Chains A and B, each alone.
Chain A
Amino acid sequence: GAVVSQHPSRVICKSGTSVKIECRSLDFQATTMFWYRQFPKQSLMLMATSNEGSKATYEQGVEKDKFLINHASLTLSTLTVTSAHPEDSSFYICSASAGQEGSPLHFGNGTRLTVT
């Protein structure tokens, strides 16, 4: 089945630094990828839609200058959390679809970000 790889699985950074998270579709091409954030005991919240070769589309309330998304190829999207603060500590998850009609989204295993 389709595999989405996310890296790193866990990262700890200091307040004020930036962190980059990678999302790769390993065996299919993904024109569109999605980035979610999940706080403890809550559901996934969509942050942005990443489009290959164009600007990402951000959900309301998500700062585009803080969460930089780059989708440079059909198999790779990156999310950079800039000037991280402790409140950015969360579980970040990416997903992608192969694009055929009705095809499901496949999700990475998530990145646990802790900002100290």
Chain B
Amino acid sequence: DAKTTQPTSMDCAEGRAANLPCNHSTISGNEYVYWYRQIHSQGPQYIIHGLKNNETNEMASLIITEDRKSSTLILPHATLRDTAVYYCIVRVAGSGGYQKVTFGTGTKLQVIP
């Protein structure tokens, strides 16, 4: 898997957009970008993933740069429940469930009232 780099921590005011960056400069053409978050003492929760195009779902938006070397996860209106550690991961497409996923240290997002 390509390595990813994320800031260790970020703060965001409640109700504002939280923008979490991730660098994956060595990403290969067939690797997807995945985002997960982990709330204390729970298993990681899948948020969103993408290959080239920007993606949006009910939880968040994913913006991938044209060169695919970085991406940003956007939580449009952060709430206190969004306080968690956010992990950005890249993983080869086409391998289905077979390719292992390794986690970096992630970004600790603190949403402030």
User: B-contacting residues of A (Cβ < 8 Å)?
Assistant: 1, 4, 6, 30-34, 36, 43-46, 49, 91, 93, 95-110, 112
A106 nearest CB across to chain B (Å): 6
Q: Smallest CB–CB gap between A94 and chain B, Å?
A: 8
* Contact assessment for B97 and A99 in the assembled complex, using a CB-CB cutoff below 8 Å: yes
Lowest 10 CB-CB distances: which A-B pairs, in order? Answer: A97-B97, A99-B96, A107-B43, A44-B103, A99-B97, A32-B97, A109-B43, A107-B44, A102-B93, A104-B46
Partner of A112, one of B41, B98, B100, B105: B41
Closest Cβ of chain B: how far from A100's Cβ, in Å? 6
A6-B43, A104-B34, A107-B45 are known contacts. Are A43 and B97 too (CB-CB below 8 A)?
A: no
Q: How many residue pairs between the two chains, A and B, have CB atoms under 8 Å in the bound complex?
A: 73
Alpha-carbon distance A102/B100, docked complex (angstroms): 13
Contact B41 A43 (CB under 8 A): no
